[in-house]
Amino acid sequence: MESASFIPRLVIPVGDPAGIGPEVVLKAIADSSISSGCQITLIGTRTLLEKAYHDPHLLDRFSLIDLPYNQEKIVCGRGDAHSGEISFLYLQEAIKRTLKGEFDGIVTGPIAKSSWQLAGYDFPGQTEVLATMAGINRYGMLFVAKSPHTSYNLRTLLATTHIPLREVPDALNPDLMTQKLDLLIESLKLDFGIDRPKIAISGLNPHSGEAGKLGREEKDWLQPWLESMGQQYPQTQLIGLVPPDTLWVEPGRAWFSGAGQPADAYLALYHDQGLIPVKLMAFDCAVNTTIGLPFVRTSPDHGTAFDIAGLGIARAQSMQAAIQLAIELCQQRRIDRF
């Protein structure tokens, strides 16, 4: 009964104020069907937020941690060191307060990595900041989307993330793959209540190497690794190595028509291998969630979109989906706790 009445406390750092982050955050929480299921606290700069949405009274409905900043330094549509600095401070404040127990989860607005670099923050993205401040080195980027056509839920974990394509084969190894698979199995149980999951794993090369003719990674170590994982996790159905060009056929059928026999989750080996199909199916509703953290973190699966910032035309569906997923994950973790 206690878990059923649990109202998650979410904090939302609004992202780069020169981009669409403030706009999509405010549009998302203006929808009471989204914001009524949780307690929302925003982290941003009031004077900048008031310019991002047509209703000046919307901010009065929510708690705001106001981090003052010289608004004249922020140029809408142009990310720079100033917008990078304040967006980093928004995120940093959210993490500090969540680690202190003030919030159950973080929903992050989009930032520009290039602006962070200009401001002197040498992180590939928000995920790495979250992991560093939480003191963990075991984490993963899981992309989640619910089909608007059917009830199917697409879940895709990336084995490698923000590295050049030419570095992917060297970055992959049995230890990394084991870590990511462990995280995925744990998350499916902890966050989604799936105790006996079905997980499909992609190959690396065309046709999964074609018995070594199109690349040897599958034959030399990926397939033996997968067989050993099957013995380690007898209650998990592991499928693979599936050729990358056919891995997404079943989830595609399930997404658009409810047909097919999709897995509960997919493990892609590199960034574009996993995210091209995710964005093809779920461009407006995919959510990035960081697994392995001691708290829930979700984020919309889009960037700052500087080219349309300030025009009032940014769509908030992915941010709404990120908030809704954060609510569901917090509630599921609460259920697991009791």
Determine whether the annotation assigns residue 297 to a binding site.
yes
Determine whether the annotation assigns residue 82 to a binding site.
no
Determine whether the annotation assigns residue 279 to a binding site.
yes
CA distance 223 to 283: 32
Looking at residue 310, its amino acid is: G
Determine whether the annotation assigns residue 271 to a binding site.
yes
186 touches 233 (CB < 8 A): no
- Whether the bond into 241 is cis, omega within 30 of 0: yes
Determine whether the annotation assigns residue 288 to a binding site.
yes
Determine whether the annotation assigns residue 298 to a binding site.
no
Determine whether the annotation assigns residue 54 to a binding site.
no
Residues annotated within a binding site for substrate: 127, 279, 288, 297
Residues annotated within a binding site for a divalent metal cation: 162, 207, 271
Residues annotated within a binding site: 127, 162, 207, 271, 279, 288, 297
